[in-house]
Amino acid sequence: MRQASPSCARRHLAPPPCRPAGSQSPPRSSRVASWIRTVRHSDLRLWLGISLSVIGAVAAPVAAQSVEEPVQVEQARALFLEGLSEVRRAHWGEALAAFERSQALRAHPLTTYNIGACERALGRYTRARRALESALSGAGADELPPSVVSDARAFLQEIEQLLVRLAVTVEPAGTRIAVDGRALEPEPSPGGAPSLVAGTLPPGRGVIAPSGRFFLLADPGVHVVTLSRQGYGDVVVNKTYRPGQVAVERWVLSELPATIRISSNEARALVSVNGKDVGVAPIDVLRPAGLHRVEVSKPGFVPYVADVRVKAGQESALRSTLVPEKQSLLGQWWFWTAAVALAGGVATATYFAARSEPAPQRPPLDGGSLGWTARIP
């Protein structure tokens, strides 16, 4: 028979929960002393006790219901016996799988108890705690032998002392949290801050952490805590907690800058953001969340101006279209050339039109030999 692995031997184990049917219960003090002396083999004896005391209790209900569902009930019973067989070889994982399959076919408090005991042997205390509490809850507890009820309660007391308890604050609000790749399961909290349990749900996406402080219940050992929120950088915490540790944790995510991708229909256009030159288009500009003024300009074109509002971590694309400037006549060279020519022509015409002509001069009079002249009006 193969003995328990060293990792199992190092775990905190409780006294064997059950005894063979018909045997007399030894004093609890002697059972504890025997358990302390033989920790390495205690889980194996635990399960051998279960196999003897439980199999009879399960066989009767199975036989009673076999008339209605003979195939399903027989399969559940066979898987239950397979789980006990794996326990004898200290194959806790295989035993757990068999008990879970049996439970899926026909639920029974004894099978639930066995699942919890397997989880405890594997060191998964939060899962063991949930299974043991389920076995003791409701009318199903009446189907458990008194010795099993007593030992299940003892297991729960032991587990409560081994669990890690963290008072956690996560910022900002709306952050998702996962522990070891699993979401956290809420549990009733008598007033005060919310309480979440790690390790009991299937692998999957994290849950949104409660705002403010909350309590986190986890197994002792190494844990990987992943925190994520849109617009913020992911935080991964790898930390080891000792059995029964109580600690305060504060995990804060840092806001990511927004990316503004600026392009233009004109090459080498100048880009400025909030009045500061940042380069030429195309260009990626990192800025904090908020409102930003973007200006794209190039000589000969009408400047492009836009206000862009971005969120943390957002990528925003801005395409600027530059339109050529429409110059007035005063800015055209030919206009001034024509104006100068016209002005010269006007000046010349004005000169000739404005100047006065002198009166015509008569030639001098010739009086002949007598020197006589006459003025004709």
* Domain residue extents for the chain: 6-161, 164-252, 258-324
Among residues 168, 152, 263, which one has the least CA distance to residue 216? Answer: 168
Chain-centroid distance of CA 319 in Å reads 31
Q: Any idea which residue has 């790898």 for tokens? A: 238
Is the pLDDT confidence value at 26 over 70? no
Fold of 6-161: 1.25.40
Identical fold at 6-161 and 258-324? no
Taking residues 95-99, report their average pLDDT.
96
Q: How confident is the model at residue 192 (pLDDT cuts 50, 70, 90)?
A: confident
Q: How many CB atoms sit inside 10 A of residue 125's CB?
A: 28
Q: Which two tokens stand for residue 41?
A: 């083999």
Residue 150, amino acid = S
- Specify the CATH architecture of the domain 164-252: Sandwich (2.60)
Residue 341 confidence class, pLDDT cut points 50, 70, 90: confident
Question: Within a 10 A sphere around the Cβ of 233, how many other Cβ atoms?
Answer: 13
Greater model confidence, 346 or 233: 233
- pLDDT grade for 212, boundaries at 50, 70 and 90: confident
- Between 53 and 160, the higher pLDDT residue: 160
Per-residue pLDDT reduced to its tens digit, 282-331: 999 999 989 999 999 999 899 999 999 998 888 899 999 999 987 655 55
pLDDT at 314: 87
Q: How many CB atoms sit inside 10 A of residue 339's CB?
A: 12
Predicted pLDDT of residue 19: 34
Homologous superfamily of domain range 258-324:
Carboxypeptidase-like, regulatory domain (2.60.40.1120)
Position 376 scores a pLDDT of 57
Mean of the per-residue pLDDT values of the chain:
79
pTM to 2 decimal places:
0.63
> For the residues of 30-42, what is the DSSP string, one character each?
HHHHHHHHTHHHH
User: How many helices (H) and strands (E) are present in the chain, helices listed first?
Assistant: 9, 18
Among the ranges given (65-69, 140-144, 156-160, 252-256), the one the predictor scored with the smallest mean pLDDT: 65-69
